[in-house]
Chain A
Amino acid sequence: MDLSLTESQEMLKASARELVEREFSKDNLVKKDTNGGFQPSDWKKIADLGWAGLLIPDEFGGEGGSLTDAAVIFHELGRGPVPGPHFSSAVLGTLTVLEGATPEQKMSLLPRLAVGATVVLAPAITESDYGWSASQIQMKAAKRNGSYTLNGAKLFVQDAIGATHILCAARLGSGKIGLFIVDAKTPGVSLRPLPGFTTGVGEVRFDRVIIHESNLLGEGREDGWTILERTLQKAIPILCAYQVGGSEKVFEMSLEYANTRVQFGMVIGRFQRVQDHVIEQVNQLDAARWATYEALWKLDTGQPAAASVHMAKALASEAYYQVCNAAHEVHAGLGIMREYGLYLHTKMSRTLYHYLGDPKFHKRRLTNALEAQGVI
């Protein structure tokens, strides 16, 4: 047993932390947030370090890293919190392509995904009947003469704005689900951000969008949902690591503030009511942290991991949300001032709470998985 990072992971962690502190400081992120959000040039800074291709095997121009390697970086990005398509494109999108694409599709997509700048993928799954089960995919893809016509709307798509391609789940004529790689510039595709107390979500509309059948992932494959479910098992713990990183940073901010803010003639950290909030933070953080890294270890070593993955997402979503709540209790008025930056974490914690399934959803899945593994 060894719960420490490897030497190379420590190096990844150090360079990720350095990047976040240099390029994505709190002040920078607040400025970006008020000036139209994450820019492609920001994404390039991350991609230039090779991290867009971290999970892509060397034969396709990537780094061939493990899931834990990726999680180490996402943990640090979460401390920003650095928004942008690193998760959507470099993790969820990339792993889906690796899982389901034909060799030709891989050759065409992966090298471009690996450099980051030329293909940016945004998975579009949920619709107006919101949910993360297959039954909620209602958008139709009608086949005619070697092409599919896509009609409908995908809602709450993470990082759609700025994506070059959309990975779209739709119902085929058979009623099964196919995954389409849709160039965002295809006629009939329109993107718009969904504004509010959220980060990076958009709506993608498909108005009689005609897609050649070679863009169906796996060409002719009708098991798109299976591909996606398998991919999600690997991708979700990396998202959890991002939530853990965010929780860690917010905990540190709160501890520091409790030790510097003076009221009633003493630092507020002397008050047990305030201490309770900080203790709640560290408890939530550690629960999410160890559940997440254990799930990653199981995946990287080829063990059955479904129960661990669902537990990790339930805990990490809850942790990030509650850690931010506690931070607002500690920071009071300061916490709602934009320039202080706490709100960036808070709205990210809200956005990711339900992304790829909220705690309730994953707890249901957890019981199912325990049953399937013969634990129950």
Chain B
Amino acid sequence: MDFELKFTPELEGFRKKVQDWLKANIPDGMENPADPVDLTLEGYNKQRALGRKMAELGWLYPTYPKEYGGGGLSDDEAIIIETELDRYDQLLPPYYDSGGKLAAATIMVWGTDEQKRAFLPPILTGKVRSWQLLTEPDAGSDLANVKTTAIRDGDHYVVNGQKIFVGSAHGAEWSWMIANTSPNGKRHENLSWFVLPMDLPGVTWTHMDLIFAGNESGALSGYKNTVYLENVRIPAFNLVGGENNGWKVAGTHLELEHGLMQGSLNGDRTLQKVFKVCRDLKREGRHLLEHDDVREELADLYIDSELTRLLHLRNYWMRSAKKPMTYEGPQAYLHMKRAALRTSKSLHKILGPYALTLDKERGLEDGHIEVQQRGGIVAQHPGGTVEIQKVIIARRLGIGRAVKEQAGVLR
């Protein structure tokens, strides 16, 4: 066995190129943002500009075909770009684009050639950014229960409904939406996916007041909106994957959301911050690190973080070695969700009230510690709750039923 991700000299050369380029091109204020709570419109525009510059090099959506605006690069090159961006606390793309990531992958599998030519280049070159419109007030874990309707009317679909927990701050050009195209149809046979331009008449959104912050922070934006859709006329061309075939399309789509490689291979920087605080801060006259209970908590924190790394490493290896995968994606996701809450509690036990304040003077590590207290809770629902992960694992293991392999793997 060999647990080390080794790259060829050519790939290490590529890494150097990426490093140098990022050093020269990461805009001021994007490098390990000190205050993770807010990103101004100015900051957001810088992120988008960086994305477009990266796209020129093929680094924004590295593994997608060049003909559609992707980089035509290998998985290894993509991992290198992601890893190097992570050193600046930035994800790939370097702005919130969850709709774009999922739409692009799905369109690659289910889109017609014409749709690929129309929709992929704007996403892959960073011209548009997209939100995902999935959750509704009555359709959370039960996504098939969406009530937003899209009724065919000539060359258009007329959309009415409401979507919640959408996007981030500062708007989006497009969204990737699931809607009910056959209100009297059978469950699972009444859904379709759309590319929705957000400037169509009848699309409006308002801010949801949530406990989290971080309005444009990569995939983890805590700034969410309610989107209202009132007699929105979407061109029929924008329906991807066939009318009423949306549940099958969703299989591909959700697999990707559940299987996202969210673990960084650079090590856990929050943990490094906690270690630092434990060396510096005192409780009852002694440094935190000198307390036995703190030392025990640190071991648990370290183990959880190592397991996140190991499970992602295993999944990465299985994917690149083309091993058949079943439960591994949701298992890693489940671990991360549980570990997030354990981490919150550990930090609270170690740091007491210090863990809870964001105060500029008294808060720890520029607010990163306090943000984790909220982030751990917020992390419980995106991409499916802990219970949903367990449902998927049970199916994949074949507990009480035949084993089900994962849907097709996409890049």
Contacts and interface: CB of A to CB of B under 8 A. Distances in A.
Q: Which one of B302, B313, B327 has the greatest number of beta carbons of chain A within 10 Å?
A: B302
Contacts of B398: 255, 259
Interface in A361-376: 363-364, 366-367, 370-371, 375-376
Given A274-B399, A282-B331, A291-B307, A4 B394 contact: no
A3 interface: yes
Nearest to B390: A279
Given A275-B390, A275-B399, A375-B275, A2 B2 contact: yes
Contact of B400 (A270, A315, A366): A270
Interface string A277-301: 0110011001100110110111000
Contacts of A278: 394, 397, 399
A276 interface: yes
A279 B393 CA distance: 7
A282 B401 contact: no
B400 A259 contact: yes
- Chain B at the A interface: SS class: helix
Interface residues of A, number: 45
A375 B302 CA distance: 10
B278 A294 contact: no
Nearest to A290: B310
Nearest to B400: A269
Given A267-B400, A291-B307, A366-B302, A1 B295 contact: no
A258 interface: yes
Q: Which one of B296, B302, B307, B399 has the greatest number of beta carbons of chain A within 10 Å?
A: B399
Nearest to A287: B307
A311 interface: yes
Nearest to A367: B295
Contacts of B397: 255, 278-279, 282
A5 B311 CA distance: 18
B279 A376 contact: yes
A276 B1 contact: no
A376 B317 contact: no
A270 B331 CA distance: 19
B400 A258 contact: yes
A282 B289 contact: no
Contact of B306 (A266, A267, A282, A291): A291
A363 B307 contact: no
Contacts of B400: 258-259, 266-271, 274-275
8 shortest interchain CB distances as A-B pairs: A269-B400, A363-B299, A270-B400, A275-B394, A269-B399, A367-B295, A290-B310, A366-B299
Given A275-B400, A278-B394, A366-B299, A283 B314 contact: no
A97 interface: no
Given A2-B321, A366-B302, A255 B399 contact: yes
B2 A1 contact: yes
A286 to B, nearest CB: 7
11 contacts: A2-B2, A3-B2, A255-B398, A258-B399, A267-B400, A274-B400, A282-B331, A282-B393, A286-B314, A296-B1, A307-B302
Given A1-B5, A283-B335, A376-B289, A290 B399 contact: no
Contact of A367 (B296, B314, B335, B399): B296
Contact of A282 (B5, B278, B299, B327): B327
Contacts of B296: 360, 363-364, 367
A274 B327 CA distance: 17
A136 B397 CA distance: 45
A376 B318 CA distance: 31
Nearest to B335: A283
Interface string B274-308: 01001100000000010010011011101100110
B334 interface: yes
A68 interface: yes
Interface in B354-383: none
A290 B311 contact: yes
Contact of A294 (B289, B302, B310, B335): B310
A371 B295 CA distance: 10
Given A4-B321, A279-B393, A376-B275, A315 B303 contact: yes
A161 B57 CA distance: 69
B6 interface: yes
A210 interface: no
Nearest to A310: B299
A270 B310 CA distance: 30
Interface string B197-215: 0000000000000000000
Contacts of A291: 306-307, 310
A272 interface: yes
A214 B5 CA distance: 48
B155 interface: no
Contact of A259 (B298, B317, B399): B399
Contacts of B302: 307, 311, 366-367, 370, 375
Contacts of B113: none
Contacts of B314: 3, 286, 290
Given A270-B401, A364-B295, A2 B1 contact: yes
Contacts of B311: 286, 290
Nearest to B276: A376
A360 B300 CA distance: 10
A278 B396 CA distance: 12
A105 B2 CA distance: 35
B394 A297 contact: no
Given A307-B302, A363-B300, 19 more contacts: A1-B3, A1-B4, A1-B5, A1-B313, A1-B316, A4-B321, A68-B1, A255-B398, A259-B399, A272-B391, A275-B390, A282-B327, A282-B393, A286-B311, A286-B314, A291-B306, A297-B3, A364-B299, A375-B302
Nearest to A366: B299
Contacts of A293: 1, 3
A116 B317 CA distance: 38
Nearest to B327: A282
Interface in B308-350: 310-311, 313-314, 316-318, 321, 327, 331, 334-335
A250 interface: no
A123 B298 CA distance: 32
A241 B393 CA distance: 24
B127 to A, nearest CB: 36
A168 interface: no
A255 B399 CA distance: 6
A314 interface: yes
Nearest to B389: A279
Nearest to A370: B302
A334 to B, nearest CB: 17
Contacts of B278: 376
B77 to A, nearest CB: 16
Nearest to B304: A287
A265 to B, nearest CB: 13
